[in-house]
């Protein structure tokens, strides 16, 4: 992912103090490094770590059920919604979601959920790089699925105060691995006055924002009724579009919205898998052609960035009925440098270049589904699996080795998550029935 998009064969990479200090053909390795401790990785491919630009790690609680509940399943009245979860639940599920992300090669995760303090704690303990925010809304989320919007100032204020505490506590924490943002949930679930307040808070705290934008027809209809605008135009009016905003989904956008996102340099995150499960496709090729920076995210109940890269390619090709609409390398760029740019962290992460952080993923290509190799990027995106990740490093720290976690035992986390999820679903009277 360097500017020349080089693929080095028989390469060597040297890191020191958490940063890449040299990379190039192995035969040119400087004498200085010849006797340094080293690992031979023949048959493997080293990539920049993946940046999962939009997720809610704790929503693993909905896995296998929410996947079939349509758009934004986390707000369905049939599921254990965030307010039913304790901070301890959020911590446990975030550990599980974070383990999944790490196992599949994510080194930087952008998470938005309630009790973000616990999310930050879990992700920091796992050694991940993370950007966290509290889920901010002043609408009553229980009523939104019925199309009813009731705003309560006290609810919004309490959540905003919690997000500001998060920023004070976590910005730059864990050796600089943790960063913070403000997380206005969506244009429809935040009143205009509340969005204005959030914008001002972001300017004062010098942090950016993450949100969901043009995610559902209900949101579009609500903003049309409330403001006579599209959701993107609404955010622009309130001063919330711009390079500091990372907008997830962007499905229901018209031509003028595409220009609006490009002109304001708003960052867009393509949630290819999550959109597809809800039966939707975002116009990512158009946005990209218009000059919008695009990152990739897994959103709910999944953490495999290789899968969402493949889905991004397939969906762009399906949507345009054009088998050249997006290439493997485009998807890899979105999943690495695109995400880094969106975060304003492209000088630090997103590519393998001297001076950047040693956030590395090692993929084992010595497997039937990845051989023969001529174009490793195409093999990875079209045929790779998250489980092909063999090693993961953040800041030069080896966190996954031979597919196993070095810092933490996954067994007890999985057992506790199963127990907590069982209790939470049982409290709702059991799992929702599906018409199959």
Cβ-contact 303, 93 below 8 angstroms:
no
Is 80 or 127 the residue whose CB approaches Zn ion more closely? 80
CA–CA dist 53, 263 (Å, integer): 21
Cβ count within 10 A of residue 356: 21
Phi, psi of 301 (to 5 degrees): 65, 15
Q: Is 395 in the site for Zn ion (CB under 5 A)?
A: no
- Beta bridge partners, 274, equal none
Task: Using alpha carbons, select from 352, 344, 290 the residue that is nearest to residue 5.
Answer: 352
Is 188 or 299 the residue whose CB approaches Zn ion more closely? 299
Is 58 or 325 the residue whose CB approaches Zn ion more closely? 58
Minimum CB separation of residue 54 from Zn ion in Å reads 6
Minimum CB separation of residue 377 from Zn ion in Å reads 27
Q: Is 299 in the site for Zn ion (CB under 5 A)?
A: yes
Of residues 28-47, which lie at the interface with Zn ion (CB under 5 A)?
Answer: none
Minimum CB separation of residue 212 from Zn ion in Å reads 5
Is 299 or 304 the residue whose CB approaches Zn ion more closely? 299
Is 112 or 336 the residue whose CB approaches Zn ion more closely? 112
78-86, 296-304, 315-323, 425-433 -> range binding Zn ion (CB under 5 A): 296-304
Give residue number: closest CB to Zn ion. 299
Minimum CB separation of residue 55 from Zn ion in Å reads 7
Q: Is 111 in the site for Zn ion (CB under 5 A)?
A: no
* Residue 91 tokens, joined: 């911590």
Considering all CA atoms of the chain, what is the largest pairwise distance in Å, rounded to the nearest integer?
68
Is 299 or 330 the residue whose CB approaches Zn ion more closely? 299
Is 236 or 299 the residue whose CB approaches Zn ion more closely? 299
Is 267 or 391 the residue whose CB approaches Zn ion more closely? 267
Buried/exposed 318-342: b ≥16 CB within 10 Å, e otherwise:
ebbeeeebbebbbbbbbbbbbbbbb
Minimum CB separation of residue 56 from Zn ion in Å reads 6
CA–CA dist 67, 277 (Å, integer): 6
Minimum CB separation of residue 42 from Zn ion in Å reads 40
Minimum CB separation of residue 9 from Zn ion in Å reads 38
139-147, 298-306, 316-324, 380-388 -> range binding Zn ion (CB under 5 A): 298-306
1-9, 96-104, 294-302, 388-396 -> range binding Zn ion (CB under 5 A): 294-302
* Residue 103 tokens, joined: 């196992």
Is 219 or 299 the residue whose CB approaches Zn ion more closely? 299
84-92, 116-124, 293-301, 376-384 -> range binding Zn ion (CB under 5 A): 293-301
Is 44 or 249 the residue whose CB approaches Zn ion more closely? 249
**DSSP summary character for residue 182:** B
For residue 409, the SS3 value is: coil
Number of residues that bind Zn ion (CB under 5 A): 1
Minimum CB separation of residue 71 from Zn ion in Å reads 11
CA–CA dist 435, 245 (Å, integer): 38
116-124, 291-299, 317-325, 341-349 -> range binding Zn ion (CB under 5 A): 291-299
Minimum CB separation of residue 299 from Zn ion in Å reads 5
Minimum CB separation of residue 170 from Zn ion in Å reads 20
H/E run at residue 252: none
Task: Using alpha carbons, select from 262, 224, 241 the residue that is nearest to residue 184.
Answer: 241
Q: CB-hemisphere CA count at 13 Å for 24?
A: 8
Site string for Zn ion, 249-288 (x = CB under 5 A): ----------------------------------------
Contacts made by residues 430-436, CB under 8 angstroms, sequence distance 24+: 431/65, 432/65, 432/69, 432/76, 432/78, 432/79, 434/68
Cβ-contact 361, 107 below 8 angstroms:
yes
Minimum CB separation of residue 348 from Zn ion in Å reads 25
Is 213 or 394 the residue whose CB approaches Zn ion more closely? 213
Task: Give how far Cα 273 sits from Cα of 55, 208, 358, Å.
Answer: 12, 25, 28
Burial of 95 (0-12, 13-18, 19+ CB in 10 A): buried
CA–CA dist 306, 184 (Å, integer): 28
Footprint on this chain of Zn ion (rule: CB under 5 A) = 299
């Amino acid at each position: 992912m360097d500017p020349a998009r080089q693929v080095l064969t028989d390469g060597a990479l040297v890191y020191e103090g958490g940063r890449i200090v040299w990379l190039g053909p192995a035969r040119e390795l400087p004498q200085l490094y010849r006797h340094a401790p080293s690992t031979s990785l023949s048959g493997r491919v080293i990539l920049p770590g993946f940046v999962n630009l939009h997720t809610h790690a704790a929503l693993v609680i909905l896995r296998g059920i929410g996947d079939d509940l349509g758009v934004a399943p986390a707000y369905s009245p049939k599921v254990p919604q965030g307010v039913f979860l304790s901070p301890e639940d959020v911590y446990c599920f975030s550990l599980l979601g974070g383990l999944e992300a790490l196992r599949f090669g994510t080194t930087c995760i952008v998470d938005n959920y309630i009790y973000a303090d616990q999310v930050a704690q879990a992700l920091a303990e796992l050694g991940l790089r993370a950007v966290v925010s509290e889920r901010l809304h002043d609408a009553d989320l229980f009523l939104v699925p019925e199309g009813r919007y009731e705003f309560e100032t006290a609810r919004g204020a309490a959540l905003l105060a919690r997000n500001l505490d998060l920023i004070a506590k976590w910005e730059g924490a864990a050796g600089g691995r943790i960063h913070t943002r403000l997380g206005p949930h969506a244009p429809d679930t935040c009143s205009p006055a509340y969005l204005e307040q959030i914008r001002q808070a972001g300017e004062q705290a010098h942090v950016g924002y993450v949100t969901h934008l043009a995610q559902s027809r209900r949101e579009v209809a609500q903003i049309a009724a409330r403001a006579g605008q599209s959701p993107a135009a609404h955010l622009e009016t309130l001063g919330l579009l711009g390079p500091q905003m990372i907008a997830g989904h962007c499905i229901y956008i018209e031509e003028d919205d595409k220009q609006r996102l490009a002109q304001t340099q708003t960052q867009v995150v393509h949630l290819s898998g999550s959109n597809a499960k809800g039966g939707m496709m975002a116009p990512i090729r158009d946005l990209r052609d218009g000059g919008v920076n695009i990152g990739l995210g897994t959103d709910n109940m999944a953490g495999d960035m290789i899968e969402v890269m493949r889905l991004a390619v397939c969906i762009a090709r399906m949507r345009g009925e054009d088998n050249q609409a997006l290439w493997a390398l485009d998807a890899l760029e979105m999943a690495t440098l695109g995400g880094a740019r969106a975060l304003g962290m492209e000088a630090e992460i997103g590519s393998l270049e001297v001076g950047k952080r040693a956030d590395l993923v090692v993929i084992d290509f010595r497997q039937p589904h990845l051989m023969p190799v001529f174009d490793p990027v195409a093999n990875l995106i079209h045929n790779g699996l998250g489980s092909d990740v063999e090693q993961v490093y953040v800041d030069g720290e080896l966190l996954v080795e031979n597919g196993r976690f070095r810092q933490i035992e996954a067994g007890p986390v999985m057992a506790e998550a199963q127990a907590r999820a069982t209790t939470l679903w049982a409290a709702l009277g059991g799992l929702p029935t599906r018409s199959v």
